[in-house]
Structure 1
């Protein structure tokens, strides 16, 4: 049986007289319930962050030390030079400098307030697009415990979510946000992958390229060492949370003579065959990009959810082939999964729901049982095996469902 082709009749009840999707009305009861749950869960996350006693390592330390150090450096008009921990595109400077907008607070306090504000923006945008997506975001993000409040990934996810939701009605804005997001953390550029063919694609892709070029030019003029992050990123090895790192951790238990070291701001594996595993990961990433390009060329059927589904599948592929797979990657995936659930036409519903147990397992791996993961104990290996197994399953199912629905 071939997938159902979207027809004008099947989408007519979503369209305004001008032919663009109309915004859904937010039920007042749902809005109040969503606001209550958001407030309660975020207070719980904030309490965990302030106590910061979960597991073997403090989550808030990255904001207090690393982000604050970058803030001091960036205020001088230069990106961190010869700092192996600086591995982010230059647009990330705006996030790390943003606490300056709240000078009456400490850097840590202002950073957390801005993260909560970005979280609220995502929640409101999703609620206006579809209740199911908003509920997934509000209820699943706390499964990552206090981690989302101490990383800069929530604002990046906010940019990507807004870009996707603007795809059909405001393509210029969607493209501009995608270009800005690409300079924040690269992966938001995938939001342009599933743009509807024809004029909309040209508008979105041109807007993305233009906004990225303008922002990069401004950063190059305003800061020194703007592209220094490329050298630091290329030097990264195989992190213990990645699929390759998980395999090597199991190999350690079988007698492989490797070890875990803290380098480049993360726990990575060193020893024989590690470089081969890193090259294999990069090769798989290239193959994933090739598959996405093939999908784009072969795709013929577009539904209102295709841009959402394509972005979600692309980021899943990027995640599972990465040499890193830090726990904050789940913030991205939860945001994209929530966007998919705003549309009744999505093919990704079961994949989106898979992100819930995956997020819970990620929180167990970091920060709850991170000492087990670093030590390569049986419990740590099994935990990473379950988490990464779910991510791999999600990527395969996501790509299969996207292909069958569109090609």
Structure 2
């Protein structure tokens, strides 16, 4: 990766070119190695069905596939606001707009003194590694909320907390971006604004729709997805004689058979252990530089992703977005972690949609693909936590003084940022 900032015009040209290619792939996704239409089908069949239910003032409470917080309803209703477009076209247009917001936010952050455009370059160049998948899932939209929240953290505690809360109401994970807020007043203000925004928005959904919390029942019933770390262990066990099989349940291919519940419980225990490690860092670690909130967010999402019972291909969108935010700062300790995430993203695309049949049927090809992808993610999560706890000092040539934020009622106090190393 080139560390020198690229001209913004070249970045814009690269974004337009890669997104045009992603659109072309989406329009021609009936090919064998592009998923035979399964990628786009998620939007025009499942999302459109949910849109029909939501437009009548209720969440799909009895649909086992509905496993998302109420904020997801707003995202799924948004395409209907665009006149003259079909639901599918509107959804893709909204996704591209969110993608553009992320790119612009990263580019703007990268042009500030002491910052780098490398984050915008990574997002622009690495997202297309997932081919057309990001355009047919709403993970780009929720990633936009998390990215804006993190990039606003050094300038406005209100915006940081509010955007994190909105993201958490769409998909829960954006709440983790608040882990690394500087201790003291900034944390109190940020978390207060997150709580107020979340409560007010949840109240609005409760007043406007029936069954806003129905997703909790479906989420708790999920099993071990074949692409998860536990799923990889079970896939290897298939080659050792384990009699389990993969079935479509709760919107994903999950393993069924002996010991699956044990693997699921181990995954939950590992998630709890990851949470304990992050809490220990929060209590005993210290806020070291401007990149610490970014690095902590990436580490937290990585740990919870790796230990989850489900690791869907679109989860890589989250990790790419957070890695890109880290790379906007020259003080980040997560550069090698970002490289591992990009590599895992490339392997993910080979597994889905290209060779997903091998993954489902646990052939040696599919099993080894998952072993490599999840091995890369596990290595990234481990390295991320180690470097978060003991960050490497950036080279003297790249070190730059941290620009003090403006003061004001919702600005960070001067003591919130430690001096540059």
TM-score relative to the length of structure 2: 0.89
1:171 corresponds in structure 2 to 157
Preserved contact between residue 75 and residue 97 of structure 1 (Cα < 8 Å)? yes
Preserved contact between residue 334 and residue 387 of structure 2 (Cα < 8 Å)? yes
After superposition, where does 1:155-194 map in structure 2 within 5 Å?
Answer: 155-194=141-180
How far residue 257 of structure 1 moved from its aligned partner, in angstroms, is 0.8
SS at match of 1:59: helix
Q: Distance in 2 between matches of 1:73 and 1:120?
A: 29
How far residue 354 of structure 1 moved from its aligned partner, in angstroms, is 1.2
User: Does structure 1 residue 252 correspond to structure 2 residue 229?
Assistant: no
Once the two structures are superposed, residues 72-124 of structure 1 have per-residue CA deviations (whole angstroms, 9 ceiling, x without a partner) of 00000000021010000111001000001113100000000110000000000
How far residue 405 of structure 1 moved from its aligned partner, in angstroms, is 3.0
Q: Distance in 1 between matches of 2:80 and 2:248?
A: 31
Query: Where does structure 1 differ by over 4 angstroms across 4 or more consecutive aligned residues?
Result: none
How far residue 353 of structure 1 moved from its aligned partner, in angstroms, is 1.5
After superposition, where does 1:178-327 map in structure 2 within 5 Å?
Answer: 178-327=164-313
Preserved contact between residue 57 and residue 367 of structure 1 (Cα < 8 Å)? no
**What residue ranges of structure 2 are gaps of 5+ in the alignment?**
111-116, 393-421
How far residue 57 of structure 1 moved from its aligned partner, in angstroms, is 5.4
Q: Distance in 2 between matches of 1:227 and 1:169?
A: 33
User: Does structure 1 residue 63 correspond to structure 2 residue 40?
Assistant: no
Q: Distance in 1 between matches of 2:293 and 2:303?
A: 16
1:14 corresponds in structure 2 to none
User: Which range is displaced more, 329-338 or 47-56?
Assistant: 47-56
Preserved contact between residue 65 and residue 250 of structure 2 (Cα < 8 Å)? yes
Q: Distance in 1 between matches of 2:85 and 2:296?
A: 40
1:39 corresponds in structure 2 to 16
SS at match of 1:224: coil
Q: Distance in 2 between matches of 1:277 and 1:223?
A: 36
How far residue 337 of structure 1 moved from its aligned partner, in angstroms, is 0.1
- Give the number of aligned pairs: 380
Q: Distance in 1 between matches of 2:219 and 2:193?
A: 27
Preserved contact between residue 61 and residue 211 of structure 2 (Cα < 8 Å)? yes
Q: CA RMSD in A?
A: 1.2
User: Does structure 1 residue 108 correspond to structure 2 residue 94?
Assistant: no
SS at match of 1:37: helix
Q: Distance in 1 between matches of 2:333 and 2:23?
A: 34
Preserved contact between residue 183 and residue 287 of structure 2 (Cα < 8 Å)? no
Preserved contact between residue 227 and residue 370 of structure 2 (Cα < 8 Å)? yes
User: Does structure 1 residue 143 correspond to structure 2 residue 129?
Assistant: yes
2:109 corresponds in structure 1 to 129
